Structure 1
Amino acid sequence: MDTADTPENQASRPFHLLEAEDVCALLEVTPTDGLTSEAVTLRRHKYGTNEIIETVGHPWWRILLGQFTDFMIVVLIAAAAVSGILGELTDAIAIIVIIILNALVGFIQEFRAEQAVIALKQMARTIVRVRRDKITHVLAAAELVPGDIVLLEAGNMVPADIRLLEAIDLEVDESALTGESLPVHKIIASIKDKDTILAERHNMLFRGTLTTRGRATGVVTATGMQTELGKIAVMLDSETIQKTPIQKRLAVFGRKLALSIIAICTIIFVAGLLQGEDMIMMFLTAVSLAVAAIPEALPAVVTIAFALGASQLVRQHALIRRLPAVETLGSVTFICSDKTGTLTRNAMHAELFYIAGVEYTTLASRDAISSEIKIFIQALALNNDVEKNPTGKLIGDPTEIALLQAALDTGIDNTALSKSWPRMAEVSFDSSRKRMTTFHQGKEQLLAFTKGAPEQVLEHCTSDIHGQFSHAAILDIANHWAMRGYRVIAYAYRDWPALPEPIDANNVEQELTFLGLAGLMDPPRDEVPAAVRECYQAGIKPVMITGDHPATARAIAERIGLVHDHADVITGKQLERLTDEQLSGQVNHTQIYARVSPQQKIRLVQLLQQRGEYVAMTGDGVNDAPALKKADIGIAMGEKGTDVAREAADMVLMDDNFATIVRAIREGRRIYDNIRKFIKYAMTGNSGEIWTLFLAPILGLPLPLLPIHILWINLVTDGLPGLALGQEKAEENIMQRPPRHPQESIFAHGMWQHILWIGLLIGALSLFTQAWAIQNNIENWQTMVFTVLTFSQLIHVLAVRSEAQSLFTIGWLTNPALIGTVLLTILLQLGVIYISVFNSIFNTAPLSLEELLFCCTVPWLVLLAVEVEKWLVRHGMIYRDSN
């Protein structure tokens, strides 16, 4: 390539007007070899990475400034300024310092949340097959450079702008780029019209579009921001982080609560004035209380919890693509799972063969291979899309790999066989036909090999290889194998004088000669039976939906404990005959669906949702994408799934394992529980502060706290201790309780009652401290109230670590992060009391040993009250639905 050529000039070249070989010459690449490693390095340096530059979220400075734009914070800053003007300079400076500290805490929280979300997006990268140095590699799409030879098949996302070199039955969904609703048929011929619009450049593929059918080879012509998608991205606004339903509900709740708190603060302000308190002091007190009590940080805290929780799920091989999925996980009542690779190991092995009326357990190590077995082995070796990676590992569909491996085990040289019988044409597999046909040209013969589901292949066979064809007898053998848990593949062939026209299923898959059967076993994953049991304990119904034979599906389902003997199996054909009303009556007790089409998956999801169920649906193919979108949680396969399925999904299983879904549900429940605990803790502490200041004037007591005290308590108790609750381990019974309804209030299961009465208790303890100290002529009574209120909230955060379990059962030290933040907060509070420089800032005074012991003893009544409440919960005496 011309070194003076710029990326912009390269991307603007009219590649669609050139012949395919001219494009390769211009890009200095040989299609069969691909680029060399040295060329890739030079071009990456010149063109950069193949990435669309996005502005996700907000820059750090905007997040920081945003901490000071809240109305109540602005009012507090103004009040502090007025206080300074009136001579209360120390108070004003102290308030401003705490506002800044609060802003820094908020900034760190929000910045971490955005970074976590960005990190999740980085993980959901497209992978692609590329030919380099004469070898096919699998690598991240971001590593592509112009001139790379890319291999695509149905279900792949197009990773860059590409000029087609080979296109077999290729159709592409370009709706995301051109708005064209129907898939576009692609060709390799050059286009003559110079004014051809983007949507009509049928020899080009564009980044961000999706291949829906066929397969292709092409050369990359533009990457990154030079692609057509990249040019559009320049004109787009920055992307916003998706909010979860709970965040939206909390934001609405926060606004309503803010109005109520402002009304209460107004009452406190007026009551203080009636008692003769200073107007400026009461105004600062009212505003400080409003700032501390209004939970404006709750939605941000939820973002952190979900985003960091999603990051933890990645370590358990579950990649969350859309943040609301973390919340929805706790509501799942049905898991509709594929069988192959999800419930099973996806490590198929061909164990049985039926050829020319004889059953074999292996094709290898035979002294003399008959002509019937020889042509069967030839079919195994040639009729597949398996490739080898640089290490020699076979890459492709697990079933095809197992079938090819059975051929390789006989000692054949597959490379030589492929050269002597090159593939000339093919009819790709699709889910409706359940067949695949490839044409191979020998020296004197043109053979078409067809493989697929036995019932689909046999109905197009008219004879077998040794002239004793019995459709019913062979089908009986296939069914018998399937009942034993084998996946059965039938092979047939046809001898052609020349390539037929047209090459389509209706034309070529007729008058076939039956070759034989192959029986493959894909054993269940070791951890799946335990995961299935956990589903039942958690009130979740696991369902198998597979394209396999009904008997195969039943055999695997029985092995994993999904069903017991004689369980109902509904096939796709039976589904077609059932009305929605009839099917709705069966979905609750049917757990195996076999030979099901992708369209029928959508129907099942819809019926379950109409019954009030919340459905997690797995899928890996192009045709699974609509069902994944329709499900409450769409789960795509990370290893064997297509790009289309992953784009449609909310979650990607990076190990394709059913047990990972159950672990993700467990983790989703834990995250949601910990969010509830934080809200319970924060709102109860705020409630305690409000009760303290609201009831004091009613009881004839002086102002119990100064504005600086309120802001300090808000800073040290709502920050680190609250966030440390997010590290709390899962409750013991977390997978023994039914799923949570998504519309259930966050304050359900006794939370609002807890917030009310424990908040009232904290307020009562604070006011009792004030009254007792004043009664005993203790001058430091305000410092004592300040300390009791702070320590009460720290005791409370320890007490609410579990909804029902006693703190003495779960252990004091099982959440080191929380213990550490509590101890740090205690030290900070003692510093405010006993370091002289802080005495003048916070209007505190050192307490005597007796006074300090009093302040350390009274708050333990909060722990006692919460423990009593949890005992009543455990014994079903209150909040009966909390377990």
Structure 2
Amino acid sequence: MSIVAHHTVITSRNGVWATLRVRGLLRNATLASRLESAGADSLEVRLATGSVRVRLTAERDEAFWTEWLSVTVKAHSGGKAPVSPAPAVPQRLKAARRQPRTAASTAVDAGSGADTAHSAPIDRLLAQLAGNRPIDVERGLSVAEAQARLAQDGPNEIRDITGRSTSEILLGQFKSVPVALLGGSAALALGTRAFADAGAIGAVLAANATLGFVTERRAEETVSSLRKLGPRQTTVLRDGATVTIDAREVVVGDVLVLKPGEPVAADARVVEAHRLATNEAALTGESLPVRKEPIAALPEDTPLGERRNMVFMGTVVSGGAGLAVVVATAEHAALGRIRQLAQGTEAPRTQLQQELDSLGKRLAIGAATLCVGVFALGALRGRPLLPLLRTAVSLGVAAIPEGLPTVATSLLAAGVRSLQQRQVFARRLDAIENLGAVDTVCFDKTGTLTQNRMSVASLTVGDELIVLEDHESPPTLPDAWLRVAVLCNSVERVNGDPAGPWQGSSTEIALLEFAVEQGADAAQLRRSHATMGVRHRSEHHPYMVTLHDSTERGLLVAVKGRPDEVLARCETWFDGQGTQPLKPAQRRRLLQLNDEMAVRGDRVLALAFREHPDRSFGETAGLCWLGLVGLADPLRPDLPQMVQRFRAAGIRPLMITGDQLGTAQAVALRIGLNHGQPMVDAAQLPESAALIADVAEHASGFARTSPAMKLEIVRALQQRGHVVAMTGDGINDGPALKTADVGVAMGVTGTDFAHAMSDLVLRDDHPAAMLQAIEQGRTAFVNIKKSVRYLVATNLSELAATTFAVAAGLPEPFDPLALLWTNIVTDIWPAIALGLEPAEPGIMEQPPVSLRGGLLERSEWGAVATDASTMTLASLASFGYGLARYGAGPQARTLAFMTLTSSQLLYALAMRSGRPLRSGGLQPNPMLHRAVGWSLAAQAGTVLLPFARRVLRTTPIGPIDALVVATTAVLPLLARELLKERRR
């Protein structure tokens, strides 16, 4: 979109005017001439800012001018004549306004009377909400009234209905195909009066269900602990005082005090707004800010996303400030009713879980087909059908790695817990998957690469640049400079304590503290210059404006913001001695000073003011330039080493910042980010997504980026196939954090909005913690592949051994219950222990992982088949020895059973790494050693304990038999290690 709303609406004697930014207009005199000739007296072009000022009427509203400008700019690009604005609203806009509401908004509209709050006149709405006494918007509710309403309506919180209950998790353990096969086998056993078999199968079912339930319940608790459905605290008016309360204590009738970066605690009607905008992504999916205004009333059927006089629970104030009266809380809020719609749904499965399910289904189909073949072949050979059927069913159950989904869920949840121990908090399980595949990391500068502790480092007086560290004492500053620094500032004392610390942005705190150090009396200035209005800095309004009433000088307009934007609105300047007209040569000199300060790495702001008699903002022009101030934000330690480690890991680091190009270049040079690639001025980027992607492929970073441009850059990288992580801490980072494959927010300096949009939160704010998170993601993915390969190879060996024996006319090598025992002993604990294997040496020197080839690539299937064959041959060799020595019977089956189970458990040790175990370098994995050790001990109990022998139909084995079992069981482990040596 080439036309962007500037969110500036001004009422003057000449009518109502709005400012729209037109991409491509900046210093484009030809396009400006075309727009002016076509727009006549309804349009003013401003080349210095690339914006257009348009007159608003009933027939030509902001939407009309947005479309007209888009058409005219496209006509100019195509060489066509400009189009004169017709007085009617374009048909496309009319059609868009008649579009039916979405299902979500319709469902929300079907709630309580709060759904009509946007359409009721404000006085009638306040009367409806009044209760015991009228609501005074300037004072809010009394404490007593609020407590009474809280007792009546209950707390303002939404019950978490997205997680599965305990009973749902338990019942889910009995809904799989393997369990159905086990149940069928148990039914057959009962039908043939084989009660011991049925009891053993029941025990297997109970063990599987218990293990799955415990694992999935723990994973669900981990995820639920990370879910936050609402803000913890909010600001309201109570008895005329601004107080901060727990958001659960907000009641209908409360007056919310809306501030930038703070979440909205409940649905509320806007009664006062100063450039107020909220992000409603939680409700509508729209990631860009939505303008909010105290509009008298809207049509009752206005869709949720177009209710500009309402703010909603679960959204975040992205700019400006205002007041709003609460009309709905808890389940009655729009977010609460949408949550109720999701009560019967299940959380989406991650890509990895889907891949595991797909693999399990393919293996199940293959195993079932082969089991049918085994049954048919055995029947042709004249074997008893019922025992053969039980064997085939048990073989099918044993051949299906039903532990795959359980293993995946538990390992992802373990990854989340491991990150928590490293002070990295993951909000979703699939963040662990995506971390391992990240190949591009986009860093925000302020608060991420820097410590967000600003201090004044340089300034200008007249046309002289003064670097403070080069002077023993700063120069004497004019009173107007100090006055603007103090007044055009939203910093306040904590809890209003005159002796307390300042709270607010680090930039404004640094500026205010510097002014105080230079002799400014902040408290006295604020008392003598009452604030009449504030326009906060926003995406399309890169400067802050405050209006003050002064008994000495009349009305004062104080301005602080981006130097080029402020300078474009100045007509005079302070030269160090007095006020002088601002000539073109002097403008160029001031911009040159700005560049010199930016090259030092300072964040540069301009200060300006104007005194005038009007009691309204009016047009922000005719200002007097006071000077520049450069603020330095120290970089976090060890950033150059961090950048090198990212590159060594095959991850490309980029910086995306809203700062000026010179500042960004200085920071990139200091931390080694440039790497021979240019830093790009995002304001000059083409509108085409393809061209943005071309630029992004060869840049070290982007300066002067808006939230919308950050979003476009992330999307452009993703369209090129990159897996992108985005770090940030502020409101302006929110859209990009939400869109990135992995959004990473700072835990200390990050806003609630940034936290809500992110997948990870870094507790200590240092972006180097991402390296640990990425290492964890890669390790988790590699370990899951190890577990999958282990499960597939071991289960195939069970299937292959029985199939070969039946095909060769040999007796069945395994009792059905023995196969079930092998399945339960080898499928879960060793696989989970493999999944918790520590990171292999050099994992961060390897390329990012990829799921494109699946969990088992074609090259790996050959290795899986080889390992399954060695375990099959080992068990058949032991079975052959038993047949030769004892003949067909339980002794031979016991030897085959002991060898198969033991070889699978020892094979788990070979799966620890792709390098030979004797090469060393691996960190210890005590859980795997315990899993293998205890499982081998349990396996020994099947021949040592009389009860186990009766159930599993095994026999005791002597020393020679034990030696045969040990020798054959270790062969698959040795074979895999020899193959590793040969490959290396």
Coarse TM-score class (shorter-chain normalised): 0.7 to 0.9
Unaligned runs of 5+ in 2: 1-111
Q: After TM superposition, list the pairs within 5 Å mapping 1:284-683 onto structure 2.
A: 284-357=390-463, 370=476, 372-390=477-495, 392-410=500-518, 412-444=520-552, 445-465=554-574, 466-467=578-579, 470-500=586-616, 503=617, 507-564=618-675, 567-576=677-686, 584-619=693-728, 624-641=733-750, 646-683=755-792
> Structure 2: which amino acid aligns with 1:428?
H
Question: 1:776 deviation in Å?
Answer: 2.5
Once structures 1 and 2 are overlaid, which stretch shifts more, 23-32 or 89-98?
23-32
Structure 2 CA distance, aligned partners of 1:110 and 1:192? 48
Task: Describe the shift of the 1:368–1:300 C-alpha distance in structure 2 as closer, same or farther (beyond 3 A).
Answer: closer
Structure 1 CA distance, aligned partners of 2:719 and 2:294? 47
Structure 2 CA distance, aligned partners of 1:556 and 1:607? 24
Indicate if the aligned counterparts of 1:76 and 1:287 stay in contact, CA closer than 8 A: yes
Q: After TM superposition, list the pairs within 5 Å mapping 1:57-136 onto structure 2.
A: 57-122=163-228, 128-129=234-235
Other-structure match for 1:761: 870
> Structure 2: which amino acid aligns with 1:450?
V
Of the three residues 315, 330, 341, the one matched with 1:224 is: 330
Question: 1:260 deviation in Å?
Answer: 0.9
Indicate if the aligned counterparts of 2:657 and 2:702 stay in contact, CA closer than 8 A: yes
Q: Secondary structure at the match of 2:654?
A: strand
1:786 aligns with 2:894: no
Task: Describe the shift of the 1:434–1:716 C-alpha distance in structure 2 as closer, same or farther (beyond 3 A).
Answer: same
Of the three residues 801, 804, 808, the one matched with 1:692 is: 801
Q: Secondary structure at the match of 2:685?
A: helix
Task: Describe the shift of the 1:10–1:197 C-alpha distance in structure 2 as closer, same or farther (beyond 3 A).
Answer: closer
Structure 1 CA distance, aligned partners of 2:472 and 2:638? 37
Structure 2 CA distance, aligned partners of 1:125 and 1:865? 57
Indicate if the aligned counterparts of 2:791 and 2:831 stay in contact, CA closer than 8 A: yes
Q: Secondary structure at the match of 1:330?
A: helix
Indicate if the aligned counterparts of 1:191 and 1:201 stay in contact, CA closer than 8 A: no
Indicate if the aligned counterparts of 1:328 and 1:742 stay in contact, CA closer than 8 A: no
Matched-pair identity in %: 35
Unaligned runs of 5+ in 1: 1-7, 876-883
Structure 1 CA distance, aligned partners of 2:734 and 2:287? 16
Task: Describe the shift of the 1:233–1:84 C-alpha distance in structure 2 as closer, same or farther (beyond 3 A).
Answer: closer
Q: Secondary structure at the match of 2:268?
A: strand
Question: 1:676 deviation in Å?
Answer: 0.8
Task: Describe the shift of the 1:244–1:459 C-alpha distance in structure 2 as closer, same or farther (beyond 3 A).
Answer: same
Indicate if the aligned counterparts of 1:95 and 1:708 stay in contact, CA closer than 8 A: yes
Q: Secondary structure at the match of 2:478?
A: helix
Structure 1 CA distance, aligned partners of 2:732 and 2:310? 23
Indicate if the aligned counterparts of 2:277 and 2:318 stay in contact, CA closer than 8 A: yes
Deviations 1:391-438 (A, max 9, x none): 844333222222223234446553443232221112221223421111
Q: Figure out how many residues of one structure are paired with residues of the other and give that number.
A: 858
Structure 1 CA distance, aligned partners of 2:748 and 2:141? 26
Structure 2 CA distance, aligned partners of 1:826 and 1:139? 58
Task: Describe the shift of the 1:176–1:628 C-alpha distance in structure 2 as closer, same or farther (beyond 3 A).
Answer: closer
Structure 1 CA distance, aligned partners of 2:926 and 2:604? 54
Q: Secondary structure at the match of 1:336?
A: strand
Other-structure match for 2:13: none
| Structure with larger RCO (C-alpha < 8 A, sep 6+) | 1
Of the three residues 924, 928, 935, the one matched with 1:814 is: 924
Once structures 1 and 2 are overlaid, which stretch shifts more, 65-74 or 262-271?
65-74
Question: 1:34 deviation in Å?
Answer: 7.4
* Structure-2-length-normalised TM-score: 0.79
Once structures 1 and 2 are overlaid, which stretch shifts more, 828-837 or 302-311?
302-311
Deviations 1:483-528 (A, max 9, x none): 111111111111121223xx4xxx5321211112211111221143
Structure 1 CA distance, aligned partners of 2:759 and 2:635? 25
Other-structure match for 2:102: none
Question: 1:624 deviation in Å?
Answer: 4.7
Deviations 1:511-569 (A, max 9, x none): 211112211111221143222111101111101111112121111112222125x7522
Other-structure match for 1:5: none
Indicate if the aligned counterparts of 2:458 and 2:466 stay in contact, CA closer than 8 A: yes
Q: Secondary structure at the match of 2:774?
A: helix
Structure 1 CA distance, aligned partners of 2:808 and 2:628? 89
Question: 1:686 deviation in Å?
Answer: 0.5
Question: 1:282 deviation in Å?
Answer: 1.8
> Structure 2: which amino acid aligns with 1:169?
R
Indicate if the aligned counterparts of 1:120 and 1:311 stay in contact, CA closer than 8 A: no
> Structure 1: which amino acid aligns with 2:486?
A
Other-structure match for 1:280: 386
Question: 1:650 deviation in Å?
Answer: 4.0
Question: 1:814 deviation in Å?
Answer: 1.4
Q: Secondary structure at the match of 1:436?
A: strand
> Structure 1: which amino acid aligns with 2:905?
L
Other-structure match for 1:879: none
* Structure-1-length-normalised TM-score: 0.87
Question: 1:112 deviation in Å?
Answer: 2.3
Question: 1:637 deviation in Å?
Answer: 4.8
Q: Secondary structure at the match of 2:920?
A: helix
Structure 2 CA distance, aligned partners of 1:405 and 1:782? 84
Question: 1:754 deviation in Å?
Answer: 2.3
Indicate if the aligned counterparts of 1:635 and 1:652 stay in contact, CA closer than 8 A: yes
Question: 1:102 deviation in Å?
Answer: 1.4
Of the three residues 232, 238, 243, the one matched with 2:349 is: 243
Q: CA RMSD in A?
A: 3.8
